[in-house]
Structure 1
Amino acid sequence: MHDLPDSPVLIEPANGVAHVRGATDIPLTESTVGEFLRDTADRFPERLAVVFREQGIRWTWREFDDHVDQLAAGFLSLGITRGDRVGIWSPNRFEWLLTQFATARIGAVLVNINPAYRVSELEYALHKVGCKALVTAGSFKTSNYISMLLDVVPELASHEAAHWRSARLPELRTVISMGDWDVAGVMPFQSVMKCGEDLLRDKADAVSGTAVELSAQDRINIQFTSGTTGSPKGATLTHRNIVNNARFVAMAMKLSEADSLCIPVPLYHCFGMVLGVLACVSVGAKMVFPGEGFDAGATLGAVAEERCTALHGVPTMFIAELAHPEFASFDLSSLRTGIMAGSPCPVETMNQVVTRMHMSEVTIAYGMTETSPVSFQSATTDPLDRRTTTVGRIQPHLEVKIVDASGHTVPVGETGELCTKGYSVMSGYWGDGDKTRESVVGGWMHTGDLATIDADGYCNIVGRSKDMVIRGGENIYPREIEEYLFRHPKIQNVQVFGVPDEKNGEELCAWIVLRESERATEEDIKSFCRGQIAHYKVPKYIRFVDAMPETVTGKVQKFAMREEMIRALKLSEQKTA
């Protein structure tokens, strides 16, 4: 546990040092995820809780809670118990949501598997944490999950559900399918629900009896971080981590049971699972899922037809929504708030979200999976300039300092690495003590993000430490240049990064997506920069593209752009000490 000592609250730094501590007047809860849902279902049994528009699902809180109990009992009937790992490999579907809460209710550990994973990544994830069961969709976009799973577990094709054993994944015992597959060794999701119904009929307290034994300190969720090098690490979170983070996120948005949140962000990520689902559970707000994956039109349609008051998204999602050809036809007047997070939020995009999408109380949040995830969030009442240029102030019960390369806390306004301490810090990387000790030192999570904290306690994320470009001895933060280029009227999206250069060590490159029907040349862009920003900040290379390479969560993959430019320009990396 990484609770803070009885130290004074420091929303604003003291003595000119970039070190802040959140408020502690609202105590932390020791509720488990299962109790969290049950309490809300008891308070608002007949209020609408869940809408999956693509699947035609509309449940009240009582119906939702009952379905969770049924699936939890189904898992128990399959021999899944406290501490067992259950993988979920699926886009946004109702089965994902039920699995999230059913595993938590019996103390099993939910393992979030990226819907974009392919064969080797799937095998790695299942093997790394020793999954006992896997709940999986049949397909999503270009992913044929059935085919990939049979590559890893060919035994499924020739043995009945209770009789196969995997040579490559010896701990895996059960595969549960969404929909009917023509595969002998797979058990349909609805069959597991039926097993749960039968068990509850015979033993009404089968689930509740198990839940009594659980602790908020139990590890309950594993999320694989998407590093650009090396194998993904399994950040392991407790009930206490994610329940409390969801509560404080909802409070910052002023969310209540009267609100309706549109959730187009993926459930497998903290943004969907914690900032979306659990935040709604904390107050009884309705959660609306527009579809299995992100679609700008479907999202705008869901907001308009369900009269959503809040909308989550990464910047690229908001950019796509604002650029939708039929944007003006959607009535978004019900919107009030939401969260833009996941990657740096362009100032111009934020301004348009406020003015054109009616999200006058939209907030910016910053965090990482390893901190459950949010550490900083703007308030709905913060001035717009604060919400467009910072990620807000420190969240309750957390502590953050900005440190230099030697580990010393830097003065206010200076750039350094952001480190977080408090209840939200993960229990560790599953099965990887060395990596855990590298990242969490003395209770401080070293994020690898470069940031500043001003005299009022507002934090600005300058970029990733690995994204910083050093050109001829000058430290350049790509985000600063991106923000400037976003002012260009023809630019819809832009990403700036460094590429190797024999003379200067690195040079800047910009990838640009132009607005529909617009045209521009490299010289147009460079002319826009000259005389406005320092000469060394003007990108040497400019490429116009139709879209940026992204993860399934909408995070831009700068490493992929860098690799592409190195190949295209026939550059070579310089060896350094």
Structure 2
Amino acid sequence: MTVHRLTLGDVLGEHRRGRPLGTAVVDGDVRLTYPELDERVDRLAGALAADGVGPGDRVLWLGQNSFRVLELLLAAGRLGAIFCPANWRQTADELAHVLTDLTPSVVVWEESEAVEKARGQVPLDARWIGSGDEYEAYLAASPPPAGLPSAEIAADSPVLALYTAAFDGRPNAALLSHSALIAHSMALLHMRQMEDGFTFLACGPLFHVGTMMFTLATFQLGGKLVFTPAYEPTEVCRLIDTEKCTQAFLFGPMIDGLVEANKDGAHDLSSLHFVSHSPEWDAMITVDDSPWCASKMGGYGQTEVGGMLTFLGLGMGGAGYAGRPSPLVHVRILDASGEEVPPGEVGEICARGQSIFSGYWNRRELNEAKSAGGWHHTGDLGRREPDGTLTFIGPRLRMIKSANENIYPAEVERALKTHPSIADAAVIGVPDDRFGQSPKAIVVLKEGASATSDEVIEHVRNEIASYKKPRDVVFADTIPKRGYTPDYDTLDATYGGGAYPGT
């Protein structure tokens, strides 16, 4: 029944009526109230519709953070289309894969050499719009639409696509519906104890679910969203001060950067209610006591569940350091046959509920495997403790966690093997005092071939995003194998691997 429907467009329409004076977004000189944002979204939806965008079509953003990311998401949602903010830091080859895979009808882009090169590689029948003045002209030329099909849009239709880390060598676009995003926002609102007047600073990348989930929770509440193109410590301090931000996307090294940038106390950061980190940081901010912050933002999550599946704030003091599931999902720990394992035994973390994704774009076989038995199979191992809390053990497929980025060895190994001198390669994670882990490559050269560590690292940097490149290269005679795959345990023992997520 339509009386049960709630889409992102409906949420915006309600804010237009209920918060006519409320600031919706701040981005540089741009300040929009909720009615002004609603009017722009309607115009944008009309312009996209005039370009043939309709239900199921894709709209792609290739650029840094901007309030226009939110506008495009909401406009696509009003048409039943799918919006994707892609990782702008990728190489031309990686961006070409996104273009080929997603086949967007409209691309809004920020000029860069990588995007230009990718555009030249992929013949695509799409409307390309510059992310600045051209976007504004595109919107201004569109009259208010006579009528949008928003009333016909199903709440369970996909609206947001986020590319996940490449656990099988190439990334996959996880599709999240209106209802899934709203459900996750409501769970996060509860855990973070977000209240009227909440202001979020989106200084982390909007292609990352960590930034996007707080952006959408703040939007759901009718709070103020402050956008900055990318993390820059002095500017982040200024924005927290001037806009009185309550929350921002920050983790350890970013926080350290803010402490250094504000060591003279030039900016008042006390409006920021955040996690305790260090004496210097705690003195600058207001240490928050919500379950989310008191638990150090703990829990278990992934893009496919909208962000967080479990919250440590629901299980503080328990045996499992991933806490308990969100109130809007339920979790089972299953063995390979799909049977639930008893408490204390390790199995795959599987889930279903209102915030779970709708599958991957254009991945039929993978979707069937991921949803086998009516459960989302996360690909991660966990354990239910005797007190009912959950412990995350680690990925079934080896993953490296460097700072806040997931790096899958399969993707880096694929890039390594495109080097003309490399016969075989494997990648492990080694402990890193600053970033938790860093990738190390073990490389076997072809007979008679030569290469230096610097040459190998530079090659990978040109193939995939720079943060995924190995920081160290070891040359070996052979890669130990288990069947056809590298024997990572032996490689770890031999070359100093460790500090993997969950250990």
State the TM-score bracket (shorter-chain normalisation).
Answer: 0.7 to 0.9
CA contact (8 A) 1:366 1:391 kept: yes
Identify unmatched segments of 5+ residues in structure 1: 1-27, 154-167, 181-187, 339-347, 469-477, 483-491, 499-504, 515-548
Of residues 40, 45, 62, the one that matches 1:72 is 45
- The verdict on how the C-alpha distance between 1:311 and 1:191 changes in structure 2, with shifts beyond 3 A counting, is closer
- Partner residue in 2 for 1:286: 224
Which residue is 1:255 aligned to? Answer: 194
SS of residue paired to 1:460: strand
1:179 corresponds in structure 2 to 132
Please name the residue that 1:576 is paired with.
482
**Paired amino acid for 1:439:** K
CA contact under 8 A between 1:223 and 1:234: conserved in structure 2? yes
Q: Is the 8 A contact 1:497 1:509 kept in 2?
A: no
The answer to whether residue 296 in structure 2 is matched with residue 375 in structure 1 is: no
Q: Counterpart of 1:79 in 2: which secondary structure?
A: coil
> 1:194 and 2:140 equivalent?
yes
Residue 151, structure 1, aligned to residue 92, structure 2:
no
Give the fraction of aligned pairs with identical amino acids, expressed as a percent: 24
What is the CA-CA distance between 1:496 and the residue it aligns to? 13
2:166–2:408: 8 Å Cα contact kept in structure 1?
Answer: no
Change (3 A) 1:358 1:390: farther
Equivalent in 363, 373, 379 of residue 432 of structure 1: 363
How many Å separate the matches in 2 of 1:314 and 1:29? 38
Query: Residue 81 of structure 1: CA displacement?
Result: 2.0
**Partners of 1:376 and 1:394 within 8 A in 2:** yes
Once residues 322 and 405 of structure 1 are traced to their aligned partners in structure 2, the CA distance between those partners, rounded to angstroms, is: 47
1:276 and 2:222 aligned: no
SS at match of 1:446: strand
Q: CA shift at 1:373, angstroms?
A: 2.6
Q: Write the mapping of 1:206-245 to structure 2, written as runs, cut at 5 A.
A: 206-207=147-148, 210-245=149-184
User: 2-side partners of 1:466 and 1:444: how far apart?
Assistant: 19
How many angstroms apart in 2 are the aligned matches of 1:76 and 1:447? Answer: 36
| SS of equivalent residue, structure 1 residue 421 | strand
Q: Which among 448, 452, 474 is matched to residue 383 of structure 2? A: 452
User: Could you tell me how far apart the structure 2 residues matched to 1:394 and 1:327 are?
Assistant: 42
Render the CA deviation track for 1:384-430: whole Å, top value 9, x for unaligned: x679x834321122111223455443343444332111122222221
- The question of whether the paired residues in 1 share the 8 Å contact of 2:165 and 2:408 is answered with no
1:110 aligns with 2:83: yes
Q: Residue 120 and residue 355 in structure 1: after superposition, are their counterparts in 2 closer, same or farther (change >3 A)?
A: same
Amino acid at match of 1:511: D
Are the structure 2 counterparts of residues 367 and 103 from structure 1 closer, same or farther at C-alpha, using a change threshold of 3 Å?
same
AA of the residue aligned to 2:36 = E
> How many Å separate the matches in 1 of 2:57 and 2:106?
8
Aligned-pair CA distance for 1:99: 0.9
Local SS of the residue matching 1:466: coil
What is the correspondence of 1:499-538 to structure 2 with a 5 Å cutoff?
509-513=430-434
Provide the C-alpha distance between the structure 2 equivalents of 1:437 and 1:205, rounded to a whole number of angstroms. Answer: 40
- AA of the residue aligned to 2:147: A
Any conservation in 2 of the 1:419–1:447 contact (CA below 8 Å)? yes
**1:302 corresponds to which letter in structure 2?**
L
Tell me if the contact between 1:118 and 1:148 (Cα under 8 Å) persists in the aligned partners: no
Tell me if structure 2 keeps the 8 A contact 1:496–1:511. no
In 1, distance between residues paired with 2:279 and 2:322?
15
* Structure 1 residue 87, shift from structure 2 partner: 1.1
Return the offset for 1:506. 12
The equivalent residue for 1:364 is 298
- Aligned-partner residue type, residue 177 of structure 1: G
- Name the SS for the 2:482 alignment partner: coil
After superposition, give the CA deviation of every residue in 1:239-277 in whole Å (9 maximum; x if it has no partner): 11112211221122111222112221211222222x222
Aligned residue number for residue 99 of structure 1 = 72
Partner of 2:396: 465
C-alpha distance after superposition, 1:161-209 (max 9, x if no partner)? xxxxxxx22xx231111235xxxxxxx212221232x2x2xxx5323xx
Contact 1:86–1:109 (8 Å) recurs in 2: yes
Q: Amino acid of the residue matched to residue 300 of structure 1? A: C
Whether the 8 Å contact between 1:252 and 1:378 is mirrored in structure 2 is no
Answer with 1 or 2: which has the greater Rg. Answer: 1
CA-to-aligned-CA distance 1:135-158 (integer Å, 9 cap, x gap): 11224xxx553x3355236xxxxx
Normalising by the residue count of structure 2, what TM-score does the alignment of the two structures yield?
Answer: 0.75
Asked whether the equivalents of residues 253 and 337 of structure 1 are also in contact (C-alpha less than 8 Å), the reply is no
In structure 2, the CA distance between the partners of 1:512 and 1:364, relative to structure 1 (3 Å rule), is closer
Counterpart secondary structure, 2:105: strand
Q: 2:9 aligns with which of 12, 29, 34?
A: 34
DSSP 3-state at the match of 2:188? helix
SS at match of 2:169: coil
Cα pair distance change 1:353/1:231, threshold 3 Å: same
In structure 2, C-alpha distance between the alignment counterparts of 1:98 and 1:506, rounded to whole Å? 39
Q: Does 1:205 align with 2:146?
A: yes
Separation of aligned partners in 1, 2:282 and 2:374: 38
Give the conservation status (yes or no) of the 8 Å contact 1:29–1:240. no
Q: 1:337 deviation in Å? A: 4.5
* Contact map agreement 2:6 2:155 (CA 8 A) in 1: yes
Report the equivalent of 1:127. 100
Q: 2:237, 2:262 within 8 Å by CA — same for their partners in 1?
A: no
In structure 2, what residue type is equivalent to 1:449? D
Compared CA separation, residues 303 and 102, structure 1 to 2 (3 A): same
Task: Tell me whether 1:311 sits opposite 2:248 in the alignment.
Answer: yes
User: Compared with structure 1, are the counterparts of its residues 190 and 506 closer, same or farther at alpha carbon in structure 2 (3 Å cutoff)?
Assistant: closer
Flag structure 2 segments of 5+ consecutive residues without an equivalent: 410-425, 436-459, 484-503
What is the distance in 2 between the residues matched to 1:508 and 1:50?
39
